[in-house]
């Protein structure tokens, strides 16, 4: 197989080493100095050049580039974070593409850290395997992370293969028995897998299409790898939910695209792929799951979704004008609340150090004077600092010691799970809020 197989070092060590030596520092600096190099000038779904800027979050550090204590005095690379709309097909994508080697080779997000997400992906894999994979068949997952999804079908009579460029998480997957190629998915890799392992009855890609710049290459790879009668199942956060619920903090350099269904159909049709079914789930603030097969056009059910998108103007500038206003008022309200808390002598800590937390804190200008500490259960993030705003990340057990008056749940998509887990803190009088200031 081409590409790198799993590195034997323990995953936490790999991540720590990466943070310490500031992986590819020169490339990061070069990209930060000249962002025009990384500007994407055409739509990644239809290649039209009719792109207009609809939202700007200024320049931001990469959301998962957590900072080691001894690097705090050094300036962090920052990259533009602007959202562009394709006026031809309705695709929404970032204006700049930060090199994927910088974002994904060492990754601090682990799917298994949420019990709810583990259950969600296990159910997806089990149902999809039942529908598409015959005994002995092959399931390939693109962006397989720590192997959470594939490990749930391992005991069935199927073969599984993970692909993920992050070396540290691939090690974790391998350690739970999920064979994983630590590489970016590509057409040549798809050819090689087909040659060595045969074609795949099921290809799964959850929260990964948004991370990939060249979606034509992905589609060609899927066409190459997919067995006759097989399916590609993907999940992506849905643009409609981002707009409805002002989820602007889910816009970060890793998320190159914010998908609606219309541009996805445009993309797939250019590669003889047919979007057959759409399902909607509340996870990650609103996610769509698509089932794609070889063919043309799309099903009536998908067409109905597109009609609804057109009716609500999802591909038009006007919806983003409203979004801009909602973003500003959410930030103003949040800052005012934190300032008022501070002036009345109350302490507020953050809960969760997700990528979206970095965006929220940086865009709203919430530094350690307003929010001194963040807690997170991911041991690889503990001891590091939030990019840009530099809150130290502590284990959640520190909450009872520090006794803040309130907690701002930055990982709001896991609010129910977090509040359930921290029942003792609530009993102790610590109040829990989401960024829209709803109290739980
Ligand atoms: P969470 C991720 O974004 C990563 P992020 C990725 N880029 C993607 O595409 C989207 O999801 C969809 C912590 N936590 O899931 C763990 C607790 O501390 O919102 C995590 O650091 N206690 C692939 O990074 C963070 O919160 C808990 O009980 O925005 C959650 O990160 C739970 C449940 C979580 O992902």
Ligand 1 atom 9 nearest Cα: 207
Rounded Cα gap, residues 86 and 53, in angstroms: 9
Cβ neighbourhood burial of 21 (10 Å; 0-12, 13-18, 19+): exposed
pLDDT for position 31: 58
Crossing angle for the helix pair 187-197 and 215-225, to the nearest 10 degrees: 10
Buried residues in 417-432 as b, exposed as e (16+ CB within 10 A): ebbeebeebeeeebeb
For ligand 1, what atom is nearest to the CA of residue 356? 29
Counting atoms of ligand 1 from 1, which one is nearest the CA of 116? Answer: 33
In contact, 392 and 373? CB cutoff 8 Å: yes
Q: In what order do the strands lie in the sheet with 257-258?
A: 51-60, 79-86, 92-94, 257-258
Spacing, Cα 110 to ligand 1 middle (Å)? 8
Q: Rounded CA gap, 327 and 331, in Å?
A: 6
Residue 266 contacts residue 273 (beta carbons within 8 Å): no
Mean pLDDT is lowest, of 56-60, 202-206, 230-234, for: 56-60
- Ligand 1, residues 238, 247, 352: which to mutate, most atoms within 8 A of Cβ? 352
169 Cα–ligand 1 center, Å: 14
If you count them, how many residues does the chain have? Answer: 440
Rounded to whole angstroms, the Cα distance separating 62 from 60 reads: 6
pLDDT of residue 37: 60
Distance of CA 399 to the CA centre of its chain: 27
Q: Please tell me the CATH code under which domain 336-433 is placed.
A: 3.40.50.720
Q: Which atom of ligand 1 is nearest to the CA of 377?
A: 18
List all residues 6 or more positions away from 368 whose beta carbon is below 8 Å from its beta carbon.
389, 390, 391
Who's near 185: CB < 8 A, 6+ residues apart?
142, 143, 163, 205, 212, 218, 221
Q: What is the pLDDT of residues 252-277, one digit of tens each?
A: 999 999 999 999 999 999 999 999 99
CB atoms within 10 A of CB 353: 30
Any ligand 1 atom below 6 A from CB of 287: no
Confidence bin at 18 (pLDDT 50/70/90): very low
> Which helix (H) or strand (E) covers residue 124, if one does?
helix 115-132
Contact assessment for residue 413 and residue 140, using Cβ atoms and an 8 Å cutoff:
no
Digit-coded pLDDT (tens) for 39-64: 899 999 999 999 999 999 999 999 99
Tens of pLDDT, residue by residue over 353-379, are 999 999 999 999 999 999 999 999 999
Helix (H, G, I), strand (E, B) or coil at 302: helix
Q: Is 354 in the pocket of ligand 1 (CB under 6 A)?
A: yes
CA of 428 to the centre of ligand 1 (A): 25
Residue range 329-350, pLDDT digits in tens: 999 999 999 999 999 999 999 9
- The predicted model gives 274-292 an average pLDDT of 97
- By DSSP bridging, strand 257-258 and strand 92-94 are antiparallel
Q: Is the CB of 405 under 6 A from ligand 1?
A: no
Cβ atoms 285, 355 nearer than 8 A: no
Whether pLDDT at 118 is above 60: yes
Residue ranges of domains in the chain: 1-315, 336-433
Ligand 1 within 6 A of 170 CB? no
Q: Which atom of ligand 1 is nearest to the CA of 237?
A: 12
Asked if residue 61 has its Cβ within 6 Å of ligand 1, the reply is no
For residue range 139-181, list pLDDT tens digits in order.
999 999 999 999 999 877 899 999 999 988 999 999 999 999 9
CB 159, CB 197: distance < 8 Å = yes
For residue 34, pLDDT beyond 70: no
CATH 3.40.1010.10 fits 1-315, yes or no: no
273 within 8 A of 223, measured Cβ to Cβ:
yes
Give the CA angle between residues 148, 219, 45 to the nearest 5°. 110
Site to probe by mutation for ligand 1, drawn from 107, 255, 377 as the one with most ligand atoms within 8 Å of Cβ, is 377
Q: Is 112 in the pocket of ligand 1 (CB under 6 A)?
A: no
One fold for both 1-315 and 336-433?
yes
Residue 414 CA: which ligand 1 atom is closest?
33
């Amino acid at each position: 197989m081409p590409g790198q197989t799993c590195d034997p070092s323990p995953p936490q060590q790999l991540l720590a080493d990466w943070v310490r030596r500031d992986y590819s520092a020169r490339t990061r600096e070069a990209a930060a100095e000249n962002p025009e190099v990384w500007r994407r000038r055409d739509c990644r779904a239809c290649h039209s050049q009719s792109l207009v800027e609809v939202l700007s979050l200024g320049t931001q550090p990469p959301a998962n580039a957590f900072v080691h204590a001894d690097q705090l005095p050094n300036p962090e690379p920052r990259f533009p974070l602007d959202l562009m709309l394709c006026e031809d097909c309705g695709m929404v994508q970032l204006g700049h593409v930060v090199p994927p080697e910088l974002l994904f080779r060492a990754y601090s997000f682990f799917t298994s850290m949420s019990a709810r997400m583990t259950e969600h992906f296990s159910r997806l894999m089990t149902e999809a395997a039942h529908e598409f994979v015959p005994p002995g068949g092959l399931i390939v997952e693109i962006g397989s992370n720590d192997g959470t999804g594939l490990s749930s079908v391992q005991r069935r009579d199927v073969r599984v293969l993970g692909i993920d460029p992050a070396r540290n998480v691939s090690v974790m997957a391998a350690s739970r028995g999920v064979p994983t190629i630590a590489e970016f998915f590509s057409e040549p890799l798809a050819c090689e897998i087909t040659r060595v392992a045969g074609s795949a009855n099921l290809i799964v890609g959850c929260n990964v299409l948004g991370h990939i710049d060249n979606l034509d290459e992905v589609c060609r790879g899927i066409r190459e790898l997919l067995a006759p009668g097989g399916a590609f199942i993907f999940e992506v956060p849905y643009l409609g939910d981002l707009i409805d619920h002002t989820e602007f903090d889910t816009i970060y350099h890793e998320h190159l695209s914010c998908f609606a269904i219309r541009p996805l159909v445009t993309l797939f049709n250019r590669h003889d792929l047919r979007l057959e079914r759409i399902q909607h789930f509340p996870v990650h603030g609103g996610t769509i799951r698509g089932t794609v097969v070889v063919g043309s056009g799309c099903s009536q059910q998908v067409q109905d979704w597109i009609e609804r998108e057109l009716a609500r103007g999802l591909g038009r500038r006007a919806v983003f004008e409203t979004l801009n206003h909602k973003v500003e008022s959410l930030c103003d309200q949040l800052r005012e609340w934190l300032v008022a808390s501070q002036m009345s002598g109350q302490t507020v800590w953050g809960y969760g150090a997700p990528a979206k937390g970095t965006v929220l804190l940086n865009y709203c200008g919430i530094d350690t004077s307003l929010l001194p500490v963040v807690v997170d259960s991911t041991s690889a993030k503990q001891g590091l600092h939030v990019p840009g705003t530099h809150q130290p990340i502590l284990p959640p057990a520190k909450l009872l010691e520090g006794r803040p008056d309130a907690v701002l749940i930055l990982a709001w998509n896991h609010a129910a799970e977090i509040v359930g887990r921290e029942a003792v803190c609530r009993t102790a009088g610590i109040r829990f809020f989401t960024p829209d200031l709803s109290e739980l």
